[in-house]
Amino acid sequence: MDHISPLLADLTLATPPALLNPHSLDLWFDGCLAKITHLITSNTPTKRPSCYSKPWWTPELTQLRGIHHHTSRLMRKNQSSPAQARVPRNSYFKAIQPAKSVHWSQFLANVDARSVWDARKIAAGRAPDRFPILENASSPTKINNTLLQHFFPPRPSPPPPLILPAFKDIPPVLPAGVSSALQKSSNTSASGPSGIPYSIWKQVHKANEQLLPSLFTPLLTHGYHPLAMKKANSIVLDKLGKPDYRTPSSFRIIVLLETVSKILERLSALRLASAARSLGLPHPNQCGSLAGLGCFHAVATLIHEVRLLQAASFKVSTLFLDVKGGFDNVCANKLATILTRGGVSAYLVAWIKSFLSKRQC
């Protein structure tokens, strides 16, 4: 990134048009984002990890493999006998297993609390992938459509307004806010369709702190989430321990969103959490998605309630509910109505409503 930092520092984005509708705002955003991503992709080498990468490989194996391939070529040209080619071949393949054993022993000798689970996964081996065998779905296209219908049932969405209103007195996105959002983003998180990870966006923001704020501020000002950031790649994985795999419920889906979209989502979530707290919208026992509260506080609250009732000679039972697919079944109009009645800013309500509509997987 060092050689493109000066280019990023001099990069400026176009000014949004004066009269905006969803189409024109999408065109402006796509053009600005493409300008940034093209500069990144054209000047950054792409890492392509090979499925044949072997951590146990040694220089000795490289030498033995070269000798083995050399004698094999001589044998194919009738310049060497099969017996002469067999000796280096056997030496090469016999050296592989000791190299694996030495690497595994060294890995176990240096294992710590963080890598003990990696050791367990390596020792257990990789479980075979289970392919969906669904009823009335005989082709890959039908299987794909059946899974999409199960995970993302179609829901009607209201048409967007022809002209996007420009909300007034909107606090702009500041470089410090983007830095805070990026700081909480892991560099190892899987990237979306563009393939640009958080580590690259951190370098971009470091080189030019005004790029991302100038890209996000018009979106919040008009309460709009562009279509380019609503597209995601998805991977269907099997759930372990299921009696059979003939139903879509035996599988789970992982959605890989665009990293630049998740940065804006984090910024908006922080604004929504702050507004909800100041307006008194969360339940008193709400712990998730609120700064300073977490699992410890939820457990402490539960223990307090149980002991309080037990002290009064009551018998206490606890019911835990696992809400599945909550995000996919949120009604955008109803949520917008609840937030508006609660006093949340109109621009944030409009952005959330736009964020929840017309998503593609």
pLDDT at res. 231 = 86
**Residue 72 maps to a domain:** yes
**Domain stop point among 94, 124, 154:** 124
Contact call for residues 212 and 173 (beta carbons, < 8 A): yes
- If one compares 52 and 190, the residue with the highest pLDDT of the two is 190
**Domain stop point among 93, 108, 124:** 124
Are 244 and 146 in the same domain?
yes
Are 96 and 195 in the same domain?
no
Q: What's the whole-model pTM score?
A: 0.73
**Residue 338 maps to a domain:** yes
Are 96 and 203 in the same domain?
no
pLDDT in tens, 68-115: 999 999 998 888 888 888 999 999 999 999 998 888 888 888 888 777
- If one compares 105 and 2, the residue with the highest pLDDT of the two is 105
DSSP state of 327: G
pLDDT at res. 244 = 80
**Residue 289 maps to a domain:** no
When pLDDT is cut at 50, 70 and 90, the band that residue 156 belongs to is: low
Are 108 and 163 in the same domain?
no
Is residue 52 over pLDDT 70? no
When pLDDT is cut at 50, 70 and 90, the band that residue 212 belongs to is: very high
Q: Output the CA torsion 270→360→217→263 (10° steps).
A: 40
* Distance in angstroms (rounded) separating the CA atoms of residues 35 and 114: 40
Q: What is the mean pLDDT of residues 7-13?
A: 86
Q: Give bridge partners of residue 252 from the DSSP assignment.
A: 237
pLDDT at res. 160 = 59
Q: What is the mean pLDDT of residues 51-57?
A: 75
When pLDDT is cut at 50, 70 and 90, the band that residue 195 belongs to is: confident
Q: What is the mean pLDDT of residues 197-208?
A: 91
* Residue 352: closest CA among 323, 325, 331: 331
pLDDT at res. 304 = 93
pLDDT at res. 72 = 92
Residues of the domain holding 82: 59-124
**Residue 7 maps to a domain:** no
Is residue 2 over pLDDT 70? no
Residue type at position 47: K
* Distance in angstroms (rounded) separating the CA atoms of residues 219 and 265: 12
pLDDT at res. 361 = 79
* Residue 89: closest CA among 72, 109, 103: 72
pLDDT at res. 105 = 86
Name the strand (E) or helix (H) holding 238: strand 233-238
**Residue 214 maps to a domain:** yes
pLDDT in tens, 232-256: 888 888 888 888 888 888 888 888 8
DSSP state of 360: B
**Residue 251 maps to a domain:** yes
Question: CA distances (Å), 316 to each of 297, 300, 301, 311, 312, in order?
Answer: 20, 16, 14, 11, 11
Is residue 162 over pLDDT 60? no
**Domain stop point among 69, 92, 124:** 124
**Residue 34 maps to a domain:** no
**Residue 145 maps to a domain:** yes
Q: Domain count for the chain, please give it.
A: 2
Question: What is the percent of the chain with per-residue pLDDT over 90, rounded to a whole number?
Answer: 33
